[in-house]
Amino acid sequence: MANELLGGIERAVIEKRDSLLVRSTLNGDKNAFARLMSLHKQRIFALGISFFRNEADADDFVQDVFIKAYTHLASFKGNSLFSTWLMRIAYNTAINSVNRRKEYLPLSDEEILVSSDSTPEEQQIRQLTKDAVRDAMAELPEKYAVCLDMYFSYDIPYQEICEITGYPVNTIKSHIFRAKKILRKKLEELVK
């Protein structure tokens, strides 16, 4: 219950913050756009790594995405979170890019998900979660791997994943459900 409430507050604060920054950017404040980039760059870079598999191309991809976002910022109406809108631009840019690798590299294989400020217990839980996501991905058609990453690593809900990728929401839901079951089993083993 408390978790739900805090989740709602967090989402509302993020929504308000991003819409204020978007409005300031549209009024010509470049610093506001710099703040938006600072807040969302890590996610776009991570998506770039998954599609391009090297930092130089991922960096070019980040620049490409943010320049597109800046150019089309006036079309952001606030119907979804700014992060979802930005991820949709990023996903379409990656899919349409000629440089991208054919196979998607799951984020669970990457060191980008390592956080330096975690306790050993947190690191263990994070590792188990990465393993669970990877196990679930192994049983999936490859194109759905990105959906699991979006849910678990990018913290995006089902409907928004559907808006970004265009995959049916029920398919996304069932793949994520399977991943959650694997995760639960792994976490049960941890406490035993």
Residues at the site binding other proteins, with contacts judged by CB under 8 A: 1-4, 6-11, 13-14, 17, 20, 30-31, 33-35, 37-39, 41-43, 46, 59, 62-63, 66-67, 70, 112-115, 118, 122, 125-126, 128-130, 133, 151-159, 173, 177, 180-181, 183-184, 187-188, 190-191
Minimum CB distance to other proteins, residue 2 (Å):
4
Minimum CB distance to other proteins, residue 27 (Å):
14
DSSP per position, 35-66: HHHHHHHHHHHHHHHHHH-SHHHHHHHHHHHH
Closer to other proteins by CB, 53 or 126: give it: 126
Minimum CB distance to other proteins, residue 186 (Å):
9
Closer to other proteins by CB, 47 or 100: give it: 47
49 CB burial (10 A radius; 0-12, 13-18, 19+): buried
* Helix, strand, or coil (residue 29): coil
**Pair of tokens at residue 89:** 């631009």
Minimum CB distance to other proteins, residue 99 (Å):
17
Number of residues in the chain: 192
Closer to other proteins by CB, 62 or 102: give it: 62
Closer to other proteins by CB, 49 or 102: give it: 49
Q: Please report, for residues 43, 77, 118, 137, 191, the alpha-carbon distance to residue 113 in angstroms, rounded to integers and kept in the order given.
A: 10, 31, 12, 17, 23
CA atoms within 13 A on the CB side of 146: 25
Closer to other proteins by CB, 7 or 166: give it: 7
